[in-house]
Amino acid sequence: MATPQTVQTEPQLRYLNRELSLLDYHLRVLALAEDQAGPLLERVRFLAISGQMLDDLFMVRVAGLQEQLIAAVAATSPDGLTAQEQLRAIRSRAQAIQSRQLEILEQELVPRLAATGIRIRDAADLEAPDRDYLARVFADQIFPVLTPLAVDPAHPFPYISNLSLNLAVLVRDPLRKESHFARVKVPPLLPRFIALPDGANFVPLEQVIAAQAQALFPGMEIIETHPFRVTRDADLDLVDSEAEDLLAAIQTELRRQRRHGRAVRLEVPPALPPAVLELLMRELELSNADVYTVGGLLDLAGLDGFCQLDRPDLKDEPWSPQTQPRLRDVEGEAPDIFEVLSKGDVLVHHPYDSFATSVEAFIDQAAVDPQVLAIKQTLYRTSGPASPIAKALIRAAERGKQVVALVELKARGDEQANIAWAEALEEAGVHVAYGLVGLKTHAKITLVVRQEGSRIRHYVHVGTGNYNPRTAMIYEDVGLLSADPNLGLDVIELFNLLTGYSRQRRYRKLLVAPTGLRAAIIDLIHKEAAASEGRVTIKVNNLVDPEVIDALYEASRAGTKVDLLVRGICCLRPGVPGLSENIRVRSILGRFLEHSRIFAFGGGRRARSYYLGSSDMMPRNLDRRVEAVVPVTDTALQKRFQEMLDVVFADNCWAWELGPEGEWSRVPGGDVDAQQRFQELARQRAAGNGTSLG
């Protein structure tokens, strides 16, 4: 075993930039839209996702860097770049991505969609019957909800809401010969594309409105119309983190954000008159660096509407999640999940294993079981009060059980939905809590307390994904169902920390952030560095934390083999001589969003230890969130975990590999599709023809 020596390198040689690595992830997603082997509407879906991801980048990351400039914060990123340098680099990359998005849409997807009978048309190219039809649709369905807003000394410039699509309309008074500017908001609740009577031709909504703009300004002359789009800072800023009523503080901040979120990006067409651009920039307080000229369709996220078309021939074959073998019906009767767990832990791998017959069934049985005394659950992103999870919690409360739901109000993008969810649960008698001041509760944990004879027994679920049946169908996640007494006590103490007054820092089995998760992971890495035949395998969404990265560098220099599967952002440089030559970094994309976080330590003749949990290796997760990571100790489940890792690292259909300069390249091959293999394994287990591990 080699003794690691500290290698002093410049920050830019030691770490990759977080924001630029995120944009590299955008490009890998965009490559799925380019993949000619993929089903056509799935390619459209990935292009829509790419558009949404770029919106998120500006709403959060660009907005944050601009805040640093406004506040004159002198800090640099771990790789040594200032906020200004990062913003310049982001602009260059974002412009290239936007150009590539439009190229894929116009040169690849639009012609191929047309060949299958789905046509995206320009309003100007329509024949008279179709124009007449759209005029009737406009009059009946669109005109009543439009509100043209003039801009002149008597009418101040209107507030342009975040991600809104708008029309800049130039009109002329025929009597006074004066020109005026007006803004028309394209209603976001209407379909993004209007279907013509044949159901095969579609026209962008903004073009339908522009073609009928005269109806909005009777007696005026329409000079020209141009679409534009504004992106604003969408990150909540809870200045009063000590607010007595967190719910009220979040609601106040959401109202403030809707009216006062700072503009960070303006998207305009090339033909927009300079005077109009100058007006928009002045009123939105933007500079030239914030303006993006887009020579095509705005709001590519709206393309997702095409994925709802009834065209199974253009989509992936539907996948039906399989019931985990130990949870399948017995002689036509649903299993007693508590009896199953009393005989051993159960591992579920979504969406290959059914969420409905595992996690949902666990909570549903707890809700109606007369021996269950209490249910406690964390909720980060949900599918609303109508979800099976919510209904089960409400049923439990109505039956007199002690039900606690810890709802995270600060889940970005879901704040309003979670407020509604929390209020509905509270009205039904569920005890609703909102977690700890200054921290997001991101842990995915459920506790069921059950009276069994003269003793109390605890059943738990710890997972990597949200308690959301919809995302469980498209997100790859893992979860552990267990009746382990020590794990149950840990989860009880974690809930006491979240809902009451506690300074709990040490747990029997759980690794918990922000109190000890980083230190525990680094200690496990260091132990591998000190061992012969050391090995570290980590699967996460993002690897950003410098301390964890440095520990992995030390392990590599000691000869430890390190395999990393990082779906999104990776700030570690693999394969650098003297620093990371023993580290391999891969990324897998595909039909299902790789979302699980898995950790494995040990190799050679030594037993391996395995963990799963909610936390990525990022400062925000390790320092500013409550996260829970649990060891998987059952031998059969460990074998299944290793099977999962073997399959994902063998993939050469969806896998990319990271080089030392930060460049990503497709792994050659094409004969091992990890996600397809997991479907095959799930079917085999359900049929009893393969391993029944877990």
* Domain stops at, among 475, 499, 523: 499
Catalytic annotation on 442? yes
CATH at 39: 3.30.1840.10
- Separation of alpha carbons 653 and 466, rounded Å: 27
C-alpha distances in Å from residue 281, one per residue of 61, 162, 240, 442, 497: 21, 15, 31, 38, 48
Number of domains forming the structure of the chain: 3
**pLDDT at 235 (0 to 100):** 72
**Domain ends where: 288, 314, 340?**
314
pLDDT at residue 248, rounded to an integer: 55
Tell me: the pLDDT tens digits for 453-473? 999 999 999 999 999 999 999
Residue 649 in contact with residue 586, Cβ under 8 Å? yes
Host H or E run for residue 254: helix 246-260
Residue 198 burial (C-beta neighbours within 10 Å; 0-12, 13-18, 19+): exposed
Same structural domain, 72 and 184: yes
CA 140, CA 145: separation in Å to the nearest integer? 10
Q: Does residue 75 sit in the same domain as residue 151? A: yes
> Quick one: pLDDT at residue 241?
40
pTM of the model: 0.92
- Contact (Cβ atoms closer than 8 angstroms) between residue 401 and residue 372: yes
Residue 217 backbone phi and psi in degrees, to 5: -135, 65
In a domain, residue 280? The reply is yes
Query: With a cut of 70, which residues of the chain have pLDDT below it?
Result: 1-9, 236-260, 383-385, 410-418, 689-694
- Kindly state whether residues 128 and 63 are assigned to the same domain: yes
Report how far residue 263's alpha carbon sits from residue 281's, in angstroms, rounded to the nearest whole number: 10
pLDDT for 252 equals 56
Q: What distance in Å separates the CA atoms of residue 565 and residue 395, rounded to the nearest whole number?
A: 40
Tell me the residue type at 165: L
Interatomic CA distance for residues 432 and 385, integer angstroms: 13
At residue 93, the pLDDT reads: 97
Tell whether 17 is covered by a domain: no
Domain membership flag for residue 8: no
Q: Are residues 472 and 599 in the same domain?
A: no
What DSSP string runs through 461-472? EEESS-S-TTGG
| CA–CA separation, 470 and 105 (whole Å) | 28
Domain span including residue 373: 325-499
Within a domain: 693: no
For 479-518, what is each residue's pLDDT tens digit?
Answer: 999 999 999 999 999 999 998 877 778 899 999 999 999 9
472 and 524 belong to one structural domain: no
**What separation, in Å, do the N-terminal and C-terminal C-alpha atoms of the chain show?**
35
Does 201 lie in the same domain as 91? Answer: yes
Predicted pLDDT at 4: 47
Q: In this structure, is residue 482 part of a structural domain?
A: yes
Task: For residue 74, report the phi and psi dihedrals to the nearest 5 degrees.
Answer: -90, 0
> How many CA atoms lie within 13 Å of 21's alpha carbon, on the beta-carbon side?
26
Specify the 3-state DSSP secondary structure of 443: coil
Of 499, 527, 543, the position where a domain reaches its end is 499
pLDDT confidence of residue 240: 40
- The greatest distance separating any two alpha carbons of the chain, rounded to the nearest whole angstrom, comes to 91
Which residue among 26, 226, 350, 442 is the active-site one? 442
**Claim to verify: residue 437 and residue 521 sit in the same structural domain:** no
